[in-house]
Structure 1
Amino acid sequence: MYKLYSLLLLFILSGVSCSGDKATLDTDASLKYCEQQVNRSLPLLKESFKIPRNILSDESSGNWNCTSIYDWTSGFWPGILWYLYEYDHDENIKKAAERFTAALYPVVDRKADNHDLGFMMYCSLGNGYRLTGNEEYKKVLLRAADSLATLYDLRVGTIHSWPGMREKMGWPHNTIIDNMLNLELLFWAAKNGGGEQLYKIANRHAEVTMENQFRNDFSTCHVVVYDTITGNRIKQVTHQGYADSSMWARGQGWAIYGFTMCYRETRNPAFLETARKAADLYLSRLPEDMIPYWDFDAPGLPEEPRDASAAAVVASGLLEMSLYMQDEVDAEKYKSAAVKILASLSSPAYQSREHNQAFLLHSTGHKPNNSEIDASIIYADYYYIEALIRLDKINKTGAI
């Protein structure tokens, strides 16, 4: 009885109503909350080259810890600002988005050593170009795509993640599941003057990842190590998960989101089926409040840290996936799951509110490295506001 009461209270406080398996969320209330939090942060973020990354659980100030433009997370803050501008059309937010986006231009002046150029540049300049048509953004994005493509190994068929691991770990070529999301930059570039080869690289990367990154139950491993002579897989390992055989929550989220996006760009039904099977497994193992522990197989459950960032990524991916379902029941299943996740994230248990300037609490960055544990992390906020924007559009227009 107590659990039922707690769940009902959660939905009431977060503007959610339920009818059977269906749920609705007041997206305006949640997006206005995001607007309030951003307006708390902006006056303190004077230097454009210092980008918000995290607020640790023991931070007394509640202010963002910032990182450089070269950090893999640097695109998420300007991306948040662009999404907020899309929602509220506030010119001050637009100016801030332009300021932090322009600060990222030097990223493409360096030799590619970062497979996360998609996260860095597409989440920021990509959203900016989509909303403004700024030709300078387009030029920089095309340069970023060309740079990312230099990390592609034709023999393996994937983009090389973490080139530094060759020496550190003795890995000839490694690809992480996170890299699926960086493919969106290549798909976009191929349609906007970058050339067909970028499409081929992105498509082949997805095919090889689909063949090698999953286990029999459609859980994903974090890292696959490949032989650069034969192109064959050497082993599946983890870097940020609990164990080589465990299901790291955010990694499963990257797979769900990434293969759904790849289906959108290619219409390859195998990509959608892969995303769906990964999603079904993920959803079947969630705790009652729909927010995963950082790793589904961590040994200390249920006392292990949660990962709100994984939940936000999955919610956004499921909303898009729901649009591609041929059966209305399936479409409602994935949309409803996404709404329930967003409802939980929008509750007092997970929103930062007075605690700090972020949107969300309780994300886990790199548990094995004891880094960003139970923290507010910028990419959790990015995918949260993206999912809210997507849900708002689906409710109003039926599309994203």
Structure 2
Amino acid sequence: MTVFRNLFLTAILLFIFSDGNAQLNTSKAIAYCAVQADKTLKLIPADSINIPRNIEQGQKQWRFIGYKDWCSGFWPGVLWYVYEGTHQLKFKTEADKFSRELTPLSMMKAFDHDLGFQLFNSFGNGYRLTKNPEYKQIILAAADTLATLFNPKVGTILSWPRPVANMEWPQHNTIIDNMINLELLFWASKNGGSKRLYDIAVSHAKTTMKNHFRPDYTSYHAVVYDKETGQKIKAVTHQGYADDSMWARGQSWAIYGYAMCYRETKDPAFLDFAEKVTDVYLKDLPADLIPYWDFNDPAIPNVPRDASAAGVVASALLELSTLTKNKAKAKVYRKKAEQMLISLSSGQYQSREKNSAFLLHSTGHKPNGSEIDASIIYADYYYIEALLRLKKLQKGLSIYTNLSS
């Protein structure tokens, strides 16, 4: 029955996608997110381990984390986005509360590269929407902390300053996820921080562009460098199927990251690269445009999807559609993003009554056996970010407009 059900859903999606006039009701989808976020707020414990991270397949209970977890910034970021989309002050109040829990991260020694995920998704969105000067100071401090992980001999930020399997510690490792954290540095350099932060971000992006990709523009997950000479030692995976496979979320970080780098620098090399890493991702997607967790898993189609990668890419495509100089590509990117969001907003992928997350069917770390076919907080974050961006475009606004103002 499952096979027939999947074939039926695929046929429906193909029918929808063949109609270029299909348009997602973004207001309805954002309202759905608000309902789900409100449900989650009612489930949160009173202790310090109170930030939602994931709900395992078939369960209703969130696994909660503390502020040091790399995912800690996504929940306050979700709340800021829900506030932006609904103008409901209760979400602003809760976003502020959960953001402030992360403040110590800006003042302690960096223990990994994820300060952008943690503090820019939280305080960055908060400052964008409120212009609270306290938030700005925390963001600037966080950028300075992240910059301490930069190795000028290599040209990139160290991802894991501790022993991690297959990373040949104490050599220098960099993972593709780190492209997203560069936005924190770019922002800080333009808002009172050192010009050096901008230079670090550009160096990291260019070095990654040179060493992190195969000739077909698919991304490795991790690259290990000699910390003294800067020479590339090897390229491997930590969360993908194999060292030479295209891990879906890794490629999504590249798409999002290089689109953002072009926005911040206007360097055409970054735009060209963003389009190349995007086009290779788009060409082998399933009919509903939600990727399998790894494009090269030989067990496809009997493997988990990754809705989180789809959310990241949908959001990135909407931005890229406004940045590309190629009008034909702009139309394709916008249409693909809308189609991805139509799929994510369907009963196949929304959590609805199954749990209080926004989405089902994300995959965190399959080789480690964790968060497989689960609801994961960063999927929700990029889903609502993409919905807000699409709503702005539907209204004829820039994606950088603040809807709450």
Counterpart for residue 6 of structure 1: 9
Which of 118, 121, 124 is matched with 2:119 structurally?
A: 121
In 1: Cα distance, 2:221 partner to 2:332 partner:
27
3-state SS of 1:235 partner: strand
Q: CA deviation at 1:327?
A: 3.0
Alpha-carbon distance between aligned partners in 1 of 2:186 and 2:208, rounded to the nearest angstrom: 16
Determine if the alignment matches structure 1 residue 109 to structure 2 residue 71.
no
Contact 2:186 2:197 (8 Å CA) reproduced: yes
Q: Given the superposition, is the C-alpha separation of residues 20 and 66 from structure 1 closer, same or farther in structure 2, using an over 3 Å criterion?
A: same
In the alignment, what sits opposite 1:191? 190
2:73 paired residue number? 75
| Aligned counterparts of 2:47 and 2:325: Cα–Cα separation in 1 | 45
3-state SS in 2 of match to 1:24: coil
**Where does 1:35-114 land on structure 2 (aligned, <5 Å)?**
35-47=34-46, 49=48, 50-59=50-59, 62-114=60-112
- 1:154 maps to what in 2? 152
Work out the CA distance in 1 between the residues paired with 2:214 and 2:201: 22
User: Cα distance, 1:24 vs. partner?
Assistant: 1.7
Residue 222 of structure 2 corresponds to which residue in structure 1?
A: 223
Measure the CA separation in 2 of the matches of 1:214 and 1:6. Answer: 34
User: Shift of residue 234 of structure 1?
Assistant: 1.1
Which amino acid counterpart does residue 208 of structure 1 have in structure 2? T
1: CA distance, partners of 2:389 / 2:267: 22
- Partner of 2:212 in structure 1? 213
* Cα offset, 1:228, TM superposition: 1.7
Matched-pair contact (CA < 8 Å) for 1:315–1:387: yes
Deviation at 1:64, TM superposition (A): 1.5
Q: 2:402 is matched with which residue?
A: none
Gaps of 5+ in 2: 400-405
* 1-structure distance, mates of 2:29, 2:110: 37
Deviation at 1:272, TM superposition (A): 1.1
Supply the AA of the counterpart residue of 2:143. A
Contact 1:41 1:63 in 2 (8 A): no
Task: Note if contact 1:11-1:344 (Cα within 8 Å) is conserved in structure 2.
Answer: no
Q: TM-score, normalised on structure 1?
A: 0.95
Q: How does 1:1-400 map to 2 (within 5 A)?
A: 6-7=9-10, 9-10=12-13, 20-21=19-20, 23-47=22-46, 49=48, 50-59=50-59, 62-165=60-163, 169-171=167-169, 172-400=171-399
Q: Residue 233 and residue 333 in structure 1: after superposition, are their counterparts in 2 closer, same or farther (change >3 A)?
A: same
8 A contact 2:247–2:293 mirrored in 1: yes
Q: Quick check: 300-309 or 47-56, which moved more?
A: 47-56
Of residues 172-181 and 97-106 in structure 1, the stretch that sits farther from structure 2 once superposed is 97-106
Q: Distance in 1 between matches of 2:298 and 2:6?
A: 24
TM-score (norm 2): 0.93
Q: Deviations over 1:104-140 (max 9, x none)?
A: 1112232111100000000000000000011111111
Contact 1:363 1:373 in 2 (8 A): yes
| Structure 1: distance between partners of 2:69 and 2:312 | 19
Give, in whole Å, the separation in 1 of the partners of 2:7 and 2:355: 29
Counterpart code for 1:256: I
| Distance apart, 1:100 and its partner CA | 0.6
SS in 1 for 2:42: helix
Cα gap change, 1:377/1:3 in structure 2, threshold over 3 Å: closer, same or farther? closer
- Hey, what's the Cα distance between the residues in 1 that align with 2:121 and 2:304? 27
Relative distance call for 1:270 and 1:22 in structure 2 (3 A) is: farther
CA distance in 2, matches of 1:57, 1:312: 19
Percent sequence identity over aligned pairs: 57
The count of aligned residue pairs is 394
Instruction: List gaps (5 residues or longer) in structure 1.
Output: none
| Aligned CA distance change for structure 1 residues 201 and 304 (closer, same or farther; 3 Å) | same
**1:48/1:99 contact within 8 Å kept:** no
- Is the 1:22–1:332 Cα contact (8 Å) retained in structure 2? no
Q: Whole-Å Cα distance in 2 between the matches of residues 364 and 351 of structure 1? A: 15
**CA-atom RMSD in angstroms:** 1.9
State the distance in 2 between where 1:280 and 1:48 align.
45
8 Å Cα contact 2:58/2:354 also seen in 1: no
Q: Is the 8 A contact 1:82 1:124 kept in 2?
A: yes
SS at match of 1:297: coil
| CA spacing shift, 1:188–1:214, aligned 2, 3 Å | same
